[in-house]
Chain A
Amino acid sequence: AQSVTQLDSQVPVFEEAPVELRCNYSSSVSVYLFWYVQYPNQGLQLLLKYLSGSTLVKGINGFEAEFNKSQTSFHLRKPSVHISDTAEYFCAVSDFRGSNYKLTFGKGTLLTVNP
């Protein structure tokens, strides 16, 4: 079964600083990777996804991620964060089991943007 590991449980940064949230996945023949964001007291929202093609994926709110097959990584980046980016970020992988795909989440990284 596929899995993802988020290397940092918490990342504090100052406003307008760059940020990188790290995610590594277990190796497989094909892999579909995603980043979701969860703002306080809300559900999850898809930030971006990698299915195939270009390894640099751009998402909403100025976030981007790079799929690196040799390092089995899918790190999320933003060049300049805002206070409003404070949220929990989940890396996720789609896994085919039996007759269904299943989305499995990493443990999450809490991004806190300080003024």
Chain B
Amino acid sequence: DTEVTQTPKHLVMGMTNKKSLKCEQHMGHRAMYWYKQKAKKPPELMFVYSYEKLSINESVPSRFSPECPNSSLLNLHLHALQPEDSALYLCASSQLTGVRTGELFFGEGSRLTVL
């Protein structure tokens, strides 16, 4: 059982819709991540939050807007997406040294389809 919970598991949206992906962890981790994974490709880092502050933005288009309201929650707000944004969006968390130690805990992902 994963300790990182993502909702919804599946999301279908039109290009004019506004939706949000949610991620929650209760492991006391202070770093949280969003990754994007296209089919048969490796995950690609989008954003990193450390102590609820955005610390890495990998030049992600502004139609993706992350938010970290508290140490347990991470949201990804979606607006005016394109069909090529269809992918599996993975949330992960770690202790702050987690990236060096590799101890990232991943959720099962939210599969997004943009029509």
Contacts and interface: CB of A to CB of B under 8 A. Distances in A.
Contacts, number: 63
Interface string A89-115: 010101010011111111110000000
Given A101-B99, A102-B56, A46 B104 contact: yes
Which secondary structure dominates where chain A touches chain B?
Answer: strand
B42 A108 contact: yes
A44 B90 contact: yes
Interface residues of A, number: 24
A44 B100 contact: no
A34 interface: yes
B32 interface: no
B102 A106 contact: no
B105 to A, nearest CB: 8
Contact of B56 (A43, A100, A108): A100
20 contacts: A32-B102, A41-B108, A42-B108, A43-B4, A44-B90, A44-B92, A44-B106, A46-B103, A46-B104, A49-B101, A49-B102, A94-B99, A94-B102, A100-B55, A102-B45, A102-B48, A104-B45, A105-B43, A107-B42, A108-B42
